[in-house]
Structure 1
Amino acid sequence: MSKKVRHEEHEEHADESWLLPYSDLMTLLVALFLVMYAMSATDAKKFEEMSQAFSSVLNGGSGVLDQKAATPTESQMDLGKGTKMDSVVADNSGEAEIAKLRQQEQADLEKLKKQFDQYIKNNGLTDLLSTKLNQSQLMITISDNALFASGQAIVKDDSRQLAKSISTMLQQFPDYDVLVQGHTDNVPIANTNYSSNWDLSVDRALHFMKILLLNSNLNPRKFSPIGYGEYHPIADNSTATGRSKNRRVEVSIIRKYQASTEFTGIVPSTK
């Protein structure tokens, strides 16, 4: 009699193959929620970047960690604009341009000074006229004896040519502001035309400026007359020689790009 072989019953295992599509579904849901959050919390450009990142991961492309060097996006490149470094570059560029303009201005004023000096020398006016170039202006100083009779503001007929010659040289650089300044000594005025040295100094500056502006190539907007009376002396008023030096008219061509804050009495025009 054959012996029956007893087979042990094996426990049945549940089919777990459904876990794979389930996990994929969950991954897609997480991605969907993240994308929805990105759409509500970020701008369109960042949403596009995030969408590309998820697409790369879900489609088996290279992820962020697989990239050896990321190419900066347009938004990232924009972050560099308007920063402190960008401002420094702009400031340096502006300073370089101003330095160039200041250098050109120096050359222009030196050229003009040489012309004035040559005119003074050629006409034997070294005792009556002088020039000085400093960090704020080119100044032509004219003794009152070269222009006016004592106590008067009308320019003498034989001195009008001097004013015309000066105006001709000034027209080479018409964009500069020009200040015409009248000065006197401290001796009180004693005639019926003027009640004080203030009045005399202002009138002298005004009359001389009007002759300069007979040149139609000069812009009246660039000219200003001013009288200082006796209050800006350059010599001792206690001597006749000192008082003679103090009685003067100064024509100042004002720098646009001053290298110092030296007071000039006029603010350069922007017109």
Structure 2
Amino acid sequence: MSRKNRHEEHEEHADESWLLPYSDLMTLLLALFIVLYAASSVNISKLEELSKAFDNAFSSGISILDKSALIEAEDEQNKSQKQRHEEIGIRTQQEKLMAQEQEDLEKLKKELDQYIDKNGLVTQLETQLNQSQLMITIRDNALFASGSADVKPTAQKLAVAIGLMLQKYPDYEVLVSGHTDDHPISTSEFANNWELSSQRALNFMEVLLQNQAFDPKKFSFIGYGEYRPVDTNDTEAGRAKNRRVEVSILRKYTDSSATNTVLSAISDEANSAPSTTTSN
């Protein structure tokens, strides 16, 4: 009986306290292994993306210099587009000005034609609108006596009437040109047709400029003599057509080359003189 009691006493008092620190140690080791595994785990997809990014940067991708060139090309393209837009805007504005000019000149021509019809001047005056100018042609017998550059009193009234219509459009350049036939002349006043046609153009321009609404800087004159006939000089009717004064209202926005040709004629022909003297 004593032996049995001693055995039960031994089982009741067995020391098992070591299990607690052992379990704690095992828990810590497990946590350590989990942390180490997590730290060593690699995201394969992210690694592949990173690898591709480096490959592009150092091989087939856009380098820093390439990127700079790309930026410059883009800036150049933007600049070119801006310039095209500005050019389109300028052309649009130019087209509007051209349309307004065409409307102005057509309106002026209509007013001149109505004046000509109303006053029975169809055989003396004529208007023509083309790509460079609106031209008013006046036969010389309506303006001057034969061989003279003095504007007739009745013609001065005509000049005043034309001026009143022109003054509504003061921004246009006006060129007054004189023309004669090919009959020779040599008088104490005029040595040749060149001088006669020039003086006639000047005198008629001066009558127009009596209108204070005009700016003289926009007016010029030239004498062509017999060198720009509009008909034959072999008949009296043809010579009568060639003796004329033309008042040209020059366009500003259309066919600039034609306008420049008209204006350059002032200097080109004024610097040359005919070798023979001819008359009206």
TM-score calculated relative to the size of structure 2: 0.66
The CA deviation string for residues 190-234 of structure 1, in whole angstroms up to 9 with x for no partner, is 422100100000000000000000000011000001000000000
Name the counterpart of 1:248: 244
CA–CA separation in structure 2 for the residues paired with 1:116 and 1:198? 29
SS at match of 1:148: coil
Q: Does 1:266 align with 2:273?
A: no
Count the aligned residue pairs. 192
Q: Does 1:136 align with 2:111?
A: no
Picking from 217, 229, 240, the partner of 2:213 is: 217
The CA deviation string for residues 113-172 of structure 1, in whole angstroms up to 9 with x for no partner, is 001000000000000000000000000000000000000000011211000001111100
Q: Answer 1 or 2: which has greater helix percent.
A: 2
- After TM superposition, the structure 1 stretch with the greater mean CA deviation from structure 2, 145-154 or 251-260, is 251-260
Q: Does 1:91 align with 2:87?
A: yes
For residues 66-105 of structure 1, what are the structure 2 equivalents within 5 Å? 79=75, 83-105=79-101
Q: Does 1:208 align with 2:204?
A: yes
- Letter aligned with residue 98 of structure 2: R
Name the counterpart of 2:184: 188
Runs of 5+ consecutive residues of structure 2 not aligned to the other structure: 1-70, 265-280
Q: Does 1:147 align with 2:143?
A: yes
Instruction: Tell me the percent identity.
Output: 53
For residues 15-94 of structure 1, what are the structure 2 equivalents within 5 Å? 79=75, 83-94=79-90
Structure 1 residues 133, 85: CA separation in 2 closer, same or farther (over 3 Å shift)?
A: same
Residue 260 of structure 1 and its aligned partner are, at CA, apart by: 5.9
Q: Does 1:158 align with 2:174?
A: no
Contact 1:147 1:159 in 2 (8 A): yes
CA–CA separation in structure 1 for the residues paired with 2:189 and 2:255? 42
SS at match of 2:187: coil
Q: Does 1:121 align with 2:111?
A: no
Runs of 5+ consecutive residues of structure 1 not aligned to the other structure: 1-74
The CA deviation string for residues 68-119 of structure 1, in whole angstroms up to 9 with x for no partner, is xxxxxxx99x937861111111111100100000000000000000010000
- After TM superposition, the structure 1 stretch with the greater mean CA deviation from structure 2, 243-252 or 190-199, is 190-199
SS at match of 2:257: coil
CA–CA separation in structure 1 for the residues paired with 2:200 and 2:255? 31
Contact 1:136 1:254 in 2 (8 A): yes
Name the counterpart of 1:232: 228
Name the counterpart of 1:169: 165
Q: Does 1:198 align with 2:166?
A: no
Residue 259 of structure 1 and its aligned partner are, at CA, apart by: 3.2
SS at match of 1:262: helix
Contact 1:153 1:203 in 2 (8 A): yes
- Letter aligned with residue 95 of structure 1: R
Contact 1:182 1:226 in 2 (8 A): yes
TM-score calculated relative to the size of structure 1: 0.68
